[in-house]
Amino acid sequence: MSKLVTIYGGSGFVGRYIARRMAMEGWRVRVAVRRPNEALFVKTYGVVGQVEPVLCNIRDDASVASVMKGADAVVNCVGVLTESGKNTFEAVQAEGAERIARLASDAGISRMVHVSAIGADADGESKYSQTKAKGEAGVLKHQPEAVILRPSIIFGPEDEFFNRFAGMTRFGPVLPIVGAKSKFQPVYVDDVAQAAVAGVLGEAKGIYELGGPEQMTLREMMEQMLLVIRRRRLVLNIPFFAARFIAFMMDMVQLLSLGIVKNVLATRDQVKSLRSDNVVAEDAQGFDALGIEPVDAASVLPEYLWRFRPSGQYDAIKESASNLRAH
């Protein structure tokens, strides 16, 4: 019988790519999610019955334990960019990660991959970075041989980064950002998935910081995105002192409106995170150690950001027509 892996958050942005690749490796895949009815698409990643979404609440011991029964390995992809209700940074990224590691250890499962983030730091400014560090510590406490992946900002068709900013360009001539000079090393989601698979298969060991082939400032990333979507916008950097005030006001509006009005610019915690660079450390092991050549953003962004162009899918047709007239 083929081996079984349980992927917590396996229908999410990163998890779905790991699930697909594990199915390609011939493993049975159990995708543990809060709403399995919304994750039925993962069934198409393998043959009938190979990939199955199952209900799991990462905040509950019994729920987490039940979906790892019989598993040979577990992968934790659960994380939140913003807090919502009971899904706080502490509950999900710190307590949830340690819960999975502890219960996996109790079940005799010794192979675990944990997706963290570059910038995980117990003494960091933001709750996000602090709880990412606590999650890593909790995992290693119970699973000392766990593989920990720390990606920089992840891009891909379902990302909440480029899609979000590209969407903002539709509403005016100015694109406001915070931390224009902060450096990132954007990494393709499927490259992160390859690293996770290497961990499950026992081909990786330790902590890996994962970044793409280019380091770019946030402003440079926005300029690259604007070229892809063929829109001219003024990229306006908001100073941190002003961003903190705006983020506070937007957080309050979101809270008082019960989430009806979303803070689409940046939360107070995100403003804190944006003060630091998010690139691979010089002494860290990364894709090179895994034999993976990361894909650059320029070769992937056009594949999914075309819908934000002024004419959407018809943009290429209009260009062709213009070239015909020119000749």
Per-domain residue ranges of the chain: 4-159+184-216+277-297
Question: What pLDDT is stored for residue 84 in this prediction?
Answer: 80
Over residues 67-114, the pLDDT tens digits come to: 999 999 999 999 998 888 888 999 999 999 999 999 999 999 999 999
CA distance 209 to 196: 12
Over residues 227-278, the pLDDT tens digits come to: 999 999 999 999 999 999 999 998 888 888 877 777 777 889 999 999 999 9
pLDDT-derived band at 314, boundaries 50, 70, 90: low
What global pTM score does this model have? Answer: 0.92
Over residues 39-69, the pLDDT tens digits come to: 999 999 999 999 999 999 999 999 999 999 9
pLDDT-derived band at 199, boundaries 50, 70, 90: very high
137 Cβ neighbours under 8 A, 6+ residues apart = 122
Is 279:211 a contact under the CB 8 Å cutoff?
Answer: yes
Is 167:134 a contact under the CB 8 Å cutoff?
Answer: no
**Pairing relation of β-strands 174-178 and 183-184?**
unpaired
Token couple for 46? 């393998």
Please state the separation of Cα 24 from the chain's center in Å: 21
Is 26:32 a contact under the CB 8 Å cutoff?
Answer: no
Q: Which CATH class is domain 4-159+184-216+277-297?
A: alpha beta
Q: Which pairs count as long-range contacts for 77-81, CB under 8 Å and 24+ apart, including other chains?
A: 77/7, 77/8, 77/9, 77/10, 77/12, 77/14, 77/15, 77/18, 77/115, 77/196, 78/8, 78/9, 78/12, 79/9, 79/115, 79/117, 79/132, 81/128, 81/160, 81/270
pLDDT-derived band at 324, boundaries 50, 70, 90: low
Does residue 285 have a pLDDT over 90?
yes
CA distance 261 to 244: 18
